[in-house]
Amino acid sequence: MSGSLKQAVEAKRAQFAERSAAAPAATEPLAPRTAPGALFAEALGVAADRDEIARLQARLRLFEGSVPTRDIALASILDNPYQPRLVFDPVQLDELAASIDESGLIQPIAVRPGRDEGTYILIAGDRRRQAVQRLGRNTIRALVFDIGEAEAALASIAENLSRENLTDFEKYGIFRRLRDEGIVKTHAELATKLGIARQLVGFVFAFERLPKDVLQHLRANPRLLGAAAAQQLAAWHAEKRTDLVCQAVELLAHGGLEHQAAALEWVRKRLRTPQPKAVRSFASPAGKPVFSLRHAPRQITVSLASGVDPKVLQEVAERLAAALEEAAREAPDAP
């Protein structure tokens, strides 16, 4: 294990040196992707390589130490309370199970002792655990770490952040939990402890400003939206266009729109379309139409029904003018 980690460290050093030579100036803005889960992979850049080197070095020291592996019962392992992943692909689990069945478990899972004797709490390796369970086995090889809950939470999340298929919404969910449980208190502290850019933490927290209906769809399918799309939808929600935001995500969730870019365009198109004017109709006591009134935010139109004496409309206009004159006297002065 230590040999492969040494190779990984050296490989990362070479990759870091190559990227540093071609890195953009610090003032050049990063352009995050809108695809779910791609935000961090695209935007961290050189800083990510530096953090990855440190992470691999830490793991190398760990495996060169005295932490032994042991076989523990799968039934004794409790779920990781800080597992960010909401959905596991069953096809990928089957493929991993087949690989383990053929080649063995190359990397043991990581656990820590549970409160009850003989129990363990998962830190990292949930997919490996599920894959071994699919093989019908009763035990799995594991590294047992004597660490506290906060340290285990950060270790688990840091491990999962290195996975390319972790979605932005899943990252948001676990970041929020770390904050809500007091493990970290600010975005800056979260970014520092996880080795990621502070502005990207804030970017992912755009999900927090989405309507509840949208969040419900994302819990069922966290790949619906990336952080960039969530930020735009949150802005429209703040502008009181929640109805369009929820309708767009509803269509996206049920296949009415193909992808998140189409959902954003669906909303933009309707924002560009003028709002229909409200119409009210007025009839005589006998039910005969007399007037129709249309009003938009800055315009009122009164129309007379066919066959009605135009003098009636003139009388209405005079009454309306008197009402407008009174309203003008009571209106505050424009700033």
pLDDT band of 49, cuts 50, 70, 90: very low
Q: 205 to each of 36, 177, 228, how far by Cα in Å?
A: 14, 12, 10
Q: 209 to each of 85, 233, 327, how far by Cα in Å?
A: 21, 9, 39
Question: Mean pLDDT over residues 302-331, rounded?
Answer: 78
Q: Closest by alpha carbon to 154, among 102, 192, 101, 126?
A: 192
Whether residue 163 contacts residue 125, with contact meaning beta carbons closer than 8 Å, is answered with no
Indicate whether 34 pLDDT > 50: no
Q: What confidence score (pLDDT) does residue 149 get?
A: 76
Question: Mean pLDDT over residues 142-158, rounded?
Answer: 78
Q: What confidence score (pLDDT) does residue 58 get?
A: 55
Question: Mean pLDDT over residues 294-309, rounded?
Answer: 72
Q: In terms of DSSP bridges, do strands 278-283 and 289-296 run parallel, antiparallel, or are they unpaired?
A: antiparallel
pLDDT tens readout for residues 57-77: 455 445 444 567 888 899 998
Indicate whether 30 pLDDT > 50: no
Q: Please tell me the distance from the alpha carbon of residue 113 to that of residue 122, in angstroms, as a whole number.
A: 9
pLDDT band of 194, cuts 50, 70, 90: confident
- Tell me, which fold does domain 2-203 have in CATH? 3.90.1530
Phi-psi category of residue 37: left, alpha or beta, with phi > 0 → left and psi -120 to 50 → alpha: left
Indicate whether 189 pLDDT > 80: yes
CATH 3.90.1530.10 location in the chain: 2-203
pLDDT tens readout for residues 221-277: 988 999 999 999 999 999 889 989 999 999 999 888 889 999 999 999 988 876 655
pLDDT band of 217, cuts 50, 70, 90: very high
Whole-structure pTM over 0.75, yes or no? Answer: no
